Structure 1
């Protein structure tokens, strides 16, 4: 492998921005130095930023490629390859594909495509067809009656490194406002009469009472002793955060209120918010705005959730609008996720780390990704 030499670059390190040169050899960063170089084959970055490859903890983007049109299920491996190309083009070099294990909605595409998608991700890895480094994030819907039988066959592969505990029962967490729940699902052409809606909510609440607690205990037992990080999902109040902390959760995904985010901070949980929340200026579900948490020092990481391009965009907006330094802003999408998931070879531009790198030009508060390298090989 020939050396990768990037020069005339604003290199974003963990605590400063250095205008200089980076050299990678055999996929590993070997030199970081101030000033230009005339080395043969050097790429003039024209003053663009060079940042570490982004690490995405929770993306549902793959679902859009599995079902590109209502009622149309696309073959899993082509869907994975398209998703892979899209995340790399957004600067994401390590991606946790979020697979929902269970769903409270009947006839869910998530249930139908789960095993085939899981197998396709592993097949893409094994064949070398994927450009990004893919890992698996299992989203466990605790109130789903058949959760355990769906989850157990997925647990033993080493690519499973993150699990989140979810409960989308209407009337709590993300859908504490039941009418917000109804409004959200009406966008998907789901509609109920008043009696049907009341009956559906009652059935879902009963289902939660029957399954959620015992499923949580079983999921924790399955994860015990494995190299798996646990996340809670849509924490809304202090009690939910305290419970998550007691059972070994270390990441608070998308807290919906200031009080939940504050409780997570006090208990040492790492807080991740949606980058689309930052870019759009607020939550699509009416929950707390991520930028408000940034201004009050209660935000650690961003996730692109359903828009891969939002990840770098959101980080840059933390710099331009929240006043964070570039190193601190980029850490929310690289260094902090790496630390939260136990990676010690990526997430920063540092000697001996993987040469996962993104060349990016800022146009106002919007990033333009110009090149991406994964282990020193150009992928975009």
Structure 2
């Protein structure tokens, strides 16, 4: 049930920055004036709810131990609690459809999508799915496209994690044994599969172009992953793939910006001060104006922490930094009803303690998903 409240005494984040004000909302939408009961939020900051455009941290909730996946929908409900505690009001759960098997297999992807459909009515946070498709799985194109349609997946990202250089040289891929263990195969069986997929590389470009065109006609958002060169990004754009997730080089990010493509970077990269595997620094790319959205990637708390860190480090003001986790990702996803605190927008908001800068409350569509401490007493008092 949505609330009808007016939050008073807080600082409200607008495009021009923080300013004292009040914010009313009813029936899940921000109102143009006060409504309902007033709640004193003196000492707090109200910001737009966080939109996580790409995160796979949910995997830890689905399988806290390898093979322990008895209640996937329950795991997603537990994941939603973590999302809410970190200010996320809209979350895109990034699920692999990959030859790697295990939790990245097509069978697991379908099970996860079924669990998501079951979990959605039980949670407050707006949960969406992204499917990450390994482009060399030529035999899976029809089944993948059917799953996108069946489950209403609105965002597809194209991946290629085959170690082509080593396979082309007849060398054993790095970490083969570990990948085989996760997939439930022997290293020899997995290696044979990788070699067979690599051998058909020449058939992939045309197949991907056809799949991208069909998905695009259905209105599916399309992204590429780990672009390294201008040619790669231009090639994806030519197929209608207009979101560049985690470009590995400034060259690729600049090519995305020049073509008007959306650029998604990792919030953990910001917090680490660089990529964990030596790719371009998110901080450097943000300073160059080469970022539209930050994603949780593998760590949900990094989203709000990264936005505040960018302000504290002087990389940008709070409004610009917070837009990278709210308005920016909402725009790339085509969710025009959220990302800003304005009349008519969804009542998606995060409340921070002004002194500690810790999250005290999260509301999605005017419903409380997280509430703690002194602020809980203020909301619950008559």
Instruction: State the TM bucket, normalised to the shorter chain.
Output: 0.7 to 0.9
1:92 paired to 2:108: no
Contact 2:43 2:355 in 1 (8 A): no
Shift of 1:2: 4.5
- In the other structure, the counterpart of 1:249 is 241
* 3-state secondary structure, aligned to 2:322: helix
Shift of 1:24: 0.8
Equivalent of residue 162 in structure 1, options 155, 159, 162: 155
Shift of 1:305: 1.0
The separation in 2 between residues aligned to 1:378 and 1:185, in whole angstroms, is 45
Q: What aligned pairs does 1:169-318 form with structure 2 within 5 A after superposition? A: 169-171=162-164, 182=174, 205-210=198-203, 212-318=204-310
Q: 1:220 to 1:356 in 2, by over 3 A?
A: same
Task: Output the aligned Cα RMSD.
Answer: 3.2
- In the other structure, the counterpart of 1:28 is 29
Equivalent of residue 79 in structure 1, options 75, 78, 82: 75
How many aligned positions are there? 364
* 3-state secondary structure, aligned to 1:115: helix
The separation in 2 between residues aligned to 1:363 and 1:274, in whole angstroms, is 27
Task: Give structure 1 stretches of 5+ with no counterpart.
Answer: 34-38, 173-178
- In the other structure, the counterpart of 2:168 is none
Contact 2:5 2:36 in 1 (8 A): no
Shift of 1:112: 3.6
Q: 1:117 to 1:256 in 2, by over 3 A?
A: same
What is the CA deviation profile of residues 12-37 of structure 1, one whole-angstrom value per residue up to 9, with x for unaligned ones?
Answer: 1123222121111221111469xxxx
Shift of 1:48: 2.1
- In the other structure, the counterpart of 2:338 is 346
The separation in 1 between residues aligned to 2:106 and 2:96, in whole angstroms, is 8
Contact 2:95 2:129 in 1 (8 A): yes
Shift of 1:73: 2.6
Q: 1:198 to 1:376 in 2, by over 3 A?
A: closer
Shift of 1:155: 2.2
Shift of 1:295: 1.4
The separation in 2 between residues aligned to 1:363 and 1:284, in whole angstroms, is 31
Contact 1:68 1:74 in 2 (8 A): no
Contact 1:104 1:168 in 2 (8 A): no
The separation in 2 between residues aligned to 1:221 and 1:262, in whole angstroms, is 24
The separation in 2 between residues aligned to 1:26 and 1:139, in whole angstroms, is 35
- In the other structure, the counterpart of 1:333 is 325
Shift of 1:205: 3.2
Contact 1:65 1:74 in 2 (8 A): no
What is the CA deviation profile of residues 45-94 of structure 1, one whole-angstrom value per residue up to 9, with x for unaligned ones?
Answer: 23322111111111112222222112333422111111122111111111
Shift of 1:349: 0.4
Q: 1:147 to 1:311 in 2, by over 3 A?
A: farther
TM-score, normalised by the number of residues in structure 1 = 0.85
Contact 2:135 2:158 in 1 (8 A): yes
